[in-house]
Amino acid sequence: MDKFLTFTIVGLSTGAIYAIIASGLVLTYTTTGIFNFAQGAIGMVCAFAYWQMHFAWGWPVWAALAVAVLVIAPVLGVLIDVLVMRGLEDTSEVTRLVVSIGLLVGLIGLAIWVWKPGVSRNFSAFFANQGFTLFDTRVTGQQALTVVVAVVVAGALWLFLRTTRTGVAMRAVVDDRSLASLNGVRPNVVSSLAWAMGCTLAAIGGILIAPNVALDAATLSLLIVNAYAAAIIGRLRSLPLTFLGAVILGCTEAYLAGYLKTSPNFAGLRLAAPAILLFIVLLIIPSSRLRGRRQSREYFPMPTWKGTWVFAGLSILAGAIMATTLSTSDATTYAKVFSFAIFALSLVPLIGFAGQISLATLTFGAIGALIYGHIGADGNPLALVLAFVVPAIVGALIALPALRLSGIYLALATAAFAVALDRWIFNLADFDIGPIRISMFELGSTEVAPLDVFGYTFDTPARQMMLVSVAFALISVVVVAVRRSRYGRRLLAMKSSEAACATLGLDLVGTKLSVFALSAGIAGFAGALYGMQLRSISPQNFGFVMGLPVLLLAVVGGIGAVGGALMAGASLMGFLPLISTLGTFFSNLAAVLPGLAGIGLGRNPNGSVHDMREGFAPILRYRPAIIGLAVAVPLFWILRLAGFLGNGVFYLLLALAPIAAVVVAGVRVGLGDGTEVADTPRVHDVPLEWKGFSVPWEPEDVVDLDRALGMNEVQLHGAP
Amino acid sequence: MTDPTPLLELRGIRAAYDRIDVLFGVDLVVEQGSVVALLGPNGAGKTTLLKVACGLMPATAGDVLFCGKRVNGVRPDELARRGVAMVPEGRGIFPNLTVRDNLRMMTYTGASLSEIEAVAFDRFPRLKERIRQVAGTMSGGEQQMLAMARGLATDPAVLILDELSMGLAPIIVEELYEIVATVARSGVSILVVEQFASTVLGVADHAAIMVHGRIVRDGAPADLEQELSSAYLGNQQGDR
């Protein structure tokens, strides 16, 4: 009984902290409609700031607390609102989620930059040597404090939201922003206030929990999973149920710690408990209604076959150039560009076409890598097929119960799955399910053999570079084929309006399930290729936090196009490692950059590939530029292979050549000297009547529109 | 109509979504204490004009004058506090808030909650029974009553009503327009937009027909009633 009471008290105090963080989450979600994945990270930064002021600089507790909770957190909240979240109107759920994931990644990068990891930082409990005895059980001062703070927070929030005008206005702004302003509310002020309050709650939670867990950027940031489990019990709306959920969660963790046998197989279960609980809760909450039309200012044009073949060819060319020119160590580093591009590619059908979100890409990759590592120990290519099939089946199994959920809930379910595997299953020793022996990472790392096709072994980095770049090109073609098929049209339709699709007789569950399986399969395949490059894989290679930048950069690159995937791989495994070699400052910067890119997404939700394609468009209209490039690139390559050029100059020339071509083509096309591939009618990538709705309206479109309608010219303001 | 300065005046308003013009120089005057009905078919630009009038949308050209002062570019919340009350198209309520919280939202314009409730429940006694109900769960007519109550409760200078009848049974529409008539008699100026005319013309002092972003007819309601059908069929002059 004593033991039970002790662990109940531990559970209640942990639950109280989860409740504080989760209530901040509910507050920002109900008032701004943004699902803040960075809530834990904001708490983490404030906990570090508190540590710095109190423990490092020796400020008194009250001063450090006041600055951290009442100054830093609210200011951070207002900054997030003004600089980041304001730009997110009319963007999709994916974009909003990715922006907050960008914030999470950026804040972790920033914290690691300022507070070097690996240093032991003492963060002692509040009222460390005080406490009292309750029914023969010792209650520490810290435990009592957390419960009191949670109760105060709960009461204050309830009063604020129910009885004050500002509280009502916060809820009103979510309902209808413009109507609220017609009532005399300044929506911007209200949402800034909501963010300030949400961040303050995160800060209180972060500072209170820091003594219980390590002061570590990733650990504290991932408390978000625990907070989400609590918030989902409150269905992201009800604060009382959220508090209840937090207490259930805290107690579950505490009892698992107290009563579970101390076997290594169960050590991870306790860490994974919140994720598992989150998954279970997601399964039992009632499914949401089918949503109708969702309009956003995001638009991804249909890829053409010609463009796709050129893209696939250029990808293989890039692989070949790198394979023949890079040193062994460089090739090892940069070959990962293509394996990560395939990871990103797995998200294109899922997110870009079907509008479903998965945060478990690398987890499926890990499954693929394990399958290939264990079964394909001799490099058997058939194992690669299994590395596609098995993750696809697992993906379908995971998605099946989660599919009646949509959008954000599905994303959370995949996050829970990823965290549970990451914290628990991957760290298990070999075990048997019936007659089948399942091997994980063998409690450390697992060897992965290079692929062997009819005696030809892909054992050098250069050969792997070729293998993976060809694989990327082929899968790109497959993904484009999916996009252009009847099935792809179905995915896009589902993304636009699930309700409309259901009324047309489309099987939503089957469609979602298949695209989820396809995506998991591609990710598993990428995992196997990535495993080959690493040679020895461990759970750390496929961690949940590692996977976030992949999603982030895939969306930043342009989630609706295969080019965006290559861009994601190139920036994550090419550009960032490259600038990291420039010095400590740049390697720190490299950790923050993906986050910044994600945060900036609201400005350009169509992805940067879209802009690049627009930027390079003049080349396609000026034939000499194409010819020039087709001559220059092989020439540079030959010069490099013959030893006349170093790698530095060679890659600089490669980068400058297309830019020069764009400049020249731009000037020539502008002058209209007659050599351009001109006089072709303007090609519209969308039906004319969509102009101004799905894509920006250009003044020149008027002429085409008038022509199509057989009308005289309309005078538009702004047009000449 | 003793005051020579019109309460709300729109002069040569042009407006555009992106680069597509929808209003081509619209003039409209709401005199002190009058009811102006703006009629027209779908897509004529009526709602856009109202949005410009209450500050939700910028005009690309022309002037919005409120009590003789130019208010172009004034934020909608500021205009609301100065006395422009708008009941937008659809249901102008916050569906997830209770009736009381919906009314409480009007306190931003300066009145106290008890004053607002007194006015609202006097005009719409049914709302008092629903005070704790979540607004989105009420019937369409009740929701529209709440929206009007919200608009009226602060004693605005001008009340702008956008398609009050949308999605409501004819009998409820008539009931609502009786209330509009009462409100008008109490001296509030009203600008009301409708697609279907007969009910609203009974209440209005002045009416205008808008087609394709232009006012094509303007005058006393009785005169306009004859011309409405032709306006809707789109064979007006000055209309392509």
Q: How confident is the model at residue A83 (pLDDT cuts 50, 70, 90)?
A: confident
How much is the pLDDT for A1?
A: 60
Closest CA relative to residue A363, chosen from A577, A520, A542: A542
What is the token pair recorded at B152?
């009226």
Stretch (H or E) spanning B24:
strand B20-30
Which residues have a Cβ under 8 Å from the Cβ of A606 and sit 6 or more positions away? A298, A299, A300, A558, A560
Interface test with A, best of B18, B74, B94, B134 (most A CBs within 10 A): B94
Please report how the helices A623-641 and A608-620 are oriented relative to each other, as an axis angle in degrees rounded to 10: 100
Share of chain A above pLDDT 70, in %: 87
User: By mean pLDDT, which of A85-94, A505-514, A539-548 is the weakest?
Assistant: A85-94
Distance from C-alpha of A250 to C-alpha of A364, rounded to nearest angstrom? 29
Does A710 reach chain B within 8 Å, measured CB to CB?
A: no
- 3-state SS assignment for residue A574: helix
Distance from C-alpha of A379 to C-alpha of A371, rounded to nearest angstrom? 12
Residue B35 sits at φ, ψ, to 5 deg, of -115, 120
- Quick check: B19 and A176 CB within 8 A? no
**Mean pLDDT, chain A, whole residue set:** 81
How much is the pLDDT for A475?
A: 93
Write down the domain spans for chain A: 2-118+140-259, 314-601, 617-709
Check the CA dihedral A551-A552-A553-A556 and report its sign: positive
Share of chain A above pLDDT 90, in %: 8
Count A/B contacts: CB-CB distance under 8 Å: 87
What is the token pair recorded at A601?
């997404």
Q: For residue A630, is pLDDT > 90?
A: no
Write the DSSP symbol of residue B43: T
How much is the pLDDT for A480?
A: 92
Where on the phi/psi map is residue A122: left (φ > 0), alpha (ψ -120 to 50), or beta? Answer: beta
Distance from C-alpha of A172 to C-alpha of B97, rounded to nearest angstrom? 7
Calculate the alpha carbon distances from A449 to A282, A370, B162 in Å.
Answer: 38, 11, 70
Q: How confident is the model at residue A363 (pLDDT cuts 50, 70, 90)?
A: very high
Find out whether A322 and A455 touch, Cβ atoms under 8 Å: no
Sheet holding B214-219, edge to edge: B84-87, B158-162, B189-194, B35-39, B206-211, B214-219
Q: What is the pLDDT of residues A169-203, one digit of tens each?
A: 887 877 777 788 888 888 888 888 888 998 999 99
Q: How many residues does chain A have?
A: 720
Write the DSSP symbol of residue A436: E
Strands A536-537 and A446-447: antiparallel
> In chain B, which residues have their Cβ closer than 8 Å to the Cβ of A703?
none
- Quick check: A178 and B88 CB within 8 A? yes
Helices (H) and strands (E) in chain A, counts: 31, 8
Which residues have a Cβ under 8 Å from the Cβ of A69 and sit 6 or more positions away? A46, A200, A203, A204, A207
Please state the rounded mean pLDDT for residues A308-333. Answer: 86
Does A169 reach chain B within 8 Å, measured CB to CB?
A: yes
Closest CA relative to residue A637, chosen from A328, A326, A327: A326
A43-52, A170-179, A377-386, B12-21: range with highest mean pLDDT: A43-52
Does A165 reach chain B within 8 Å, measured CB to CB?
A: yes
Residue A168 is nearest to which of B76, B81, B101, comparing CB atoms?
B101
How much is the pLDDT for A677?
A: 45
Which residues have a Cβ under 8 Å from the Cβ of A504 and sit 6 or more positions away? A493
How much is the pLDDT for A695?
A: 62
Q: What is the pLDDT of residues A14-30, one digit of tens each?
A: 889 889 988 888 888 87
- Quick check: A696 and B81 CB within 8 A? no
How much is the pLDDT for A679?
A: 43
Contact residues of B toward A, CB < 8 A: 14, 16-21, 54, 56, 60-61, 75-77, 80-81, 85-86, 88, 92-97, 101-102, 104-109, 150
Which residues have a Cβ under 8 Å from the Cβ of B185 and sit 6 or more positions away? none
Q: What is the pLDDT of residues B72-84, one digit of tens each?
A: 888 888 888 888 8
Residue A165 is nearest to which of B61, B77, B107, comparing CB atoms?
B107
How much is the pLDDT for A11?
A: 87
- For residue A368, the one-letter residue type is G
Where on the phi/psi map is residue B187: left (φ > 0), alpha (ψ -120 to 50), or beta? Answer: left
Please state the rounded mean pLDDT for residues A312-327. Answer: 87
Residue A450, judged by CB atoms within 10 A of its CB (0-12, 13-18, 19+), counts as middle
Distance from C-alpha of A55 to C-alpha of A211, rounded to nearest angstrom? 12
Distance from C-alpha of B214 to C-alpha of B26, rounded to nearest angstrom? 6
Please state the rounded mean pLDDT for residues A461-482. Answer: 91
- DSSP state letters, A236-263: TT-HHHHHHHHHHHHHHHHHHHHHS---
Q: For residue A34, is pLDDT > 60?
A: yes
Q: How confident is the model at residue A264 (pLDDT cuts 50, 70, 90)?
A: low
Q: How confident is the model at residue A521 (pLDDT cuts 50, 70, 90)?
A: very high
How much is the pLDDT for A709?
A: 67
Residue B21 sits at φ, ψ, to 5 deg, of -70, 135
Check the CA dihedral B136-B139-B141-B142 and report its sign: negative
Q: How confident is the model at residue A714 (pLDDT cuts 50, 70, 90)?
A: low
Closest CA relative to residue A208, chosen from A110, A132, A275, A123: A123
Distance from C-alpha of A518 to C-alpha of B38, rounded to nearest angstrom? 55
What is the token pair recorded at A398?
């995971």
- Quick check: B109 and A183 CB within 8 A? yes
- Quick check: A181 and B16 CB within 8 A? no
| CB hemisphere CA count around A258 (13 angstroms) | 17
Please state the rounded mean pLDDT for residues A453-473. Answer: 85
- DSSP state letters, A161-190: HHHSHHHHHHHHHHH-HHHHHHTT--HHHH
Q: What is the pLDDT of residues B123-165, one digit of tens each?
A: 888 888 888 888 888 888 888 888 888 877 777 888 888 888 8
Does A178 reach chain B within 8 Å, measured CB to CB?
A: yes
A666-680, A699-713, B35-49: range with highest mean pLDDT: B35-49
Q: A718 to chain B, minimum CA–CA distance in Å? A: 7
Where on the phi/psi map is residue A236: left (φ > 0), alpha (ψ -120 to 50), or beta? Answer: left
Please identify which residue in the block is written with the tokens 């591609």: A522
Find out whether B25 and B61 touch, Cβ atoms under 8 Å: yes
User: By mean pLDDT, which of A288-297, A403-412, A442-451, B63-72 is the weakest?
Assistant: A288-297
Stretch (H or E) spanning B123:
helix B113-123
Classify domain A314-601 by CATH architecture: Orthogonal Bundle (1.10)
- Quick check: B75 and A169 CB within 8 A? no
Q: What is the pLDDT of residues A212-241, one digit of tens each?
A: 777 777 778 887 778 888 888 887 777 888
- 3-state SS assignment for residue B142: helix
Distance from C-alpha of A307 to C-alpha of A311, rounded to nearest angstrom? 6
Please state the rounded mean pLDDT for residues A327-336. Answer: 84
Distance from C-alpha of A188 to C-alpha of B77, rounded to nearest angstrom? 11
Find out whether A293 and A498 touch, Cβ atoms under 8 Å: no
Residue B239: count of CB within 10 angstroms of its CB: 12
- For residue A366, the one-letter residue type is A
Q: A169 to chain B, minimum CA–CA distance in Å? A: 6
Distance from C-alpha of A192 to C-alpha of A187, rounded to nearest angstrom? 9
Distance from C-alpha of A569 to C-alpha of A576, rounded to nearest angstrom? 10
Residue A26: count of CB within 10 angstroms of its CB: 25
What is the token pair recorded at A377?
């120990």
Find out whether A196 and A519 touch, Cβ atoms under 8 Å: no
Q: For residue B3, is pLDDT > 60?
A: no
Stretch (H or E) spanning A421:
helix A407-423
For residue B60, the chain A residue with the least C-alpha distance is: A717
Residue A327 sits at φ, ψ, to 5 deg, of -70, 165
- Cα dihedral: B48, B53, B54, B60 (round 10): 70
Distance from C-alpha of B123 to C-alpha of B175, rounded to nearest angstrom? 12
Distance from C-alpha of A602 to C-alpha of A83, rounded to nearest angstrom? 10
Q: How confident is the model at residue A346 (pLDDT cuts 50, 70, 90)?
A: very high
- For residue A194, the one-letter residue type is A
Q: For residue A121, is pLDDT > 50?
A: yes
How much is the pLDDT for A525?
A: 93
> In chain B, which residues have their Cβ closer than 8 Å to the Cβ of A175?
94-97
Instruction: Find how far residue A207's CA is from the centre of its chain.
Output: 26
Does A180 reach chain B within 8 Å, measured CB to CB?
A: yes
Strands B189-194 and B158-162: parallel
User: By mean pLDDT, which of A5-9, A125-129, A610-614, B209-213 is the weakest?
Assistant: A125-129
**Mean pLDDT, chain B, whole residue set:** 81
- For residue A357, the one-letter residue type is I
Residue B77 is nearest to which of A168, A181, A696, comparing CB atoms?
A181
Q: Partners of A206 in the beta sheet?
A: none
Residue A226 sits at φ, ψ, to 5 deg, of -65, -45
How much is the pLDDT for A519?
A: 94
> In chain A, which residues have their Cβ closer than 8 Å to the Cβ of B18?
692, 696-697
Distance from C-alpha of A532 to C-alpha of A526, rounded to nearest angstrom? 10
What interface predicted TM-score (ipTM) does this complex get? 0.79
In angstroms and rounded to an integer, the radius of gyration of the C-alpha atoms of chain B is 17
User: By mean pLDDT, which of A263-272, A316-325, A555-564 is the weakest?
Assistant: A263-272
Higher pLDDT, A198 or A681: A198
What is the token pair recorded at A317?
């060319």
Q: How confident is the model at residue B239 (pLDDT cuts 50, 70, 90)?
A: very low
Residue A277 sits at φ, ψ, to 5 deg, of -60, -40
Q: How confident is the model at residue A481 (pLDDT cuts 50, 70, 90)?
A: very high
